[in-house]
Structure 1
Amino acid sequence: MSGPRGGDTPTDPINDDLGWMLGVLFRAHLRGAEHTLGDLPGGPRGYQVLVAADREPARNQGAIAEELGIDRTVLTYLIDDLERVGLVLRRPDPADRRSRLVTLTEAGRQTAGQRRETLRHVEDHLLSALSTEEAGTLRALLRRTACAAQTLDPVTDLCEVVEAATDHHTRARRRPAPRSGTARRPAPQ
């Protein structure tokens, strides 16, 4: 059976469902990430905090929480755990003494680098069905899409977006189907 564009992929609505595709890839990535990062405080989330803190200039907890989509309270506990094992430090922000900047220790920088390399092997395995060029293109497209989605998040009212799409679909179904031609009535006799 051939796909809609003449390829060898069978035509099946699930194969074209973005949610299904992203879900399969997400679950596979999560399994690999858990295996690779599970011993870090916070697991994959703790790793994301390390990567987010590995930037110049250093950023405060609020900025990191917003970027990663982590509740500030949860992030505080993650940073506490990472600080306890010597991977991050909190230091007062010279521009705002009430704010704390999160920075990596040397051990944190080494750990982040080692884990980044190991996780890259997991990701390369996950993308092994693609050529190097295709994998690079996919990463670039996902990065662009994720950055665009990040600017929309939090969507002011996701319910409104869903309702608008549902209303549009419902109205389209209620409209009478256009006639393909004018039906002729039988001539009166």
Structure 2
Amino acid sequence: MNNAIRSQKGDDLTELILALFRANNLTLMWGDRLVGPFGLTSARWQILGAIVQANRPQPVAWLARDLGANRQNVQRIVNDLHQEGIVMFKPNPHHRRAHLVVLTEKGRRAYDSAINAYNPRVDSLAEDLSLDDIRIAHRVMTTLRARLEEEMDAEKHG
């Protein structure tokens, strides 16, 4: 067993990371149950959300970047969504092969149904949490994400 010494902050961050792993797994299962009736999974719902949040059509690579996800995984899910008529591809005037992904009317209905189911549930989850605690947790996770991205970029380019 590796008994390398790390700081108290390192120990506490490790506990936070383990809690994030557990929370992520539970969030995905919760999301799957929530959006399953609309023909979605958490992964599909995340992609639909990225499409909506982008405010303009994006290619798969940009959606993957916005999600912090692997492009190939996003492409596979987008292809499945396309086969089911939830998204469609439009020509990209800036790149012949990287088509733009847009929601179909069926996709918009599924996304809107998921959000309508989500809103009261997330409000219920937030009930006993203070706004300050939510904002602090968001700031910590955003900072952690940025540092992880920097480290990954350094490894990729270093």
Runs of 5+ in structure 2 lacking a partner?
A: 1-10
Give 1 or 2 for the bigger CA radius of gyration. Answer: 1
The aligned runs of 1:94-113 (5 Å cut-off) are 94-113=93-112
Kindly indicate whether the alpha-carbon contact (under 8 Å) linking 2:39 and 2:110 is maintained by their aligned counterparts in 1. no
| Residue 130 of structure 1: how far off its partner (Å) | 0.8
| Residue 104 of structure 1: how far off its partner (Å) | 0.9
Match for residue 21 of structure 2? 23
Residues 142-166 of structure 1 show CA distances to partners (whole Å, capped at 9, x for unaligned) of 57436635752634339x9xxxxxx
Runs of 5+ in structure 1 lacking a partner?
A: 1-12, 161-189
Match for residue 76 of structure 2? 77
User: Is 2:82 aligned against 1:65?
Assistant: no
Aligned amino acid, residue 112 of structure 1: Y
| Residue 89 of structure 1: how far off its partner (Å) | 0.8
| Higher normalized helix content (fraction of residues) | 2
Provide the identity percentage: 22
Residues 16-51 of structure 1 show CA distances to partners (whole Å, capped at 9, x for unaligned) of 921233234323322211211345666111111111
Match for residue 46 of structure 2? 48
Kindly indicate whether the alpha-carbon contact (under 8 Å) linking 2:38 and 2:113 is maintained by their aligned counterparts in 1. no
Backbone CA RMSD of aligned residues: 3.3
- Going from structure 1 to structure 2, the CA distance change for 1:52 and 1:30 (only over 3 Å counts) comes to same
| Residue 96 of structure 1: how far off its partner (Å) | 1.7
Indicate the larger mover: 110-119 or 42-51. Answer: 110-119
- Paired residues in the alignment total 146
TM-score, with length taken from structure 1? 0.61
Aligned amino acid, residue 59 of structure 1: Q
- Going from structure 1 to structure 2, the CA distance change for 1:149 and 1:85 (only over 3 Å counts) comes to farther
Aligned amino acid, residue 20 of structure 1: L
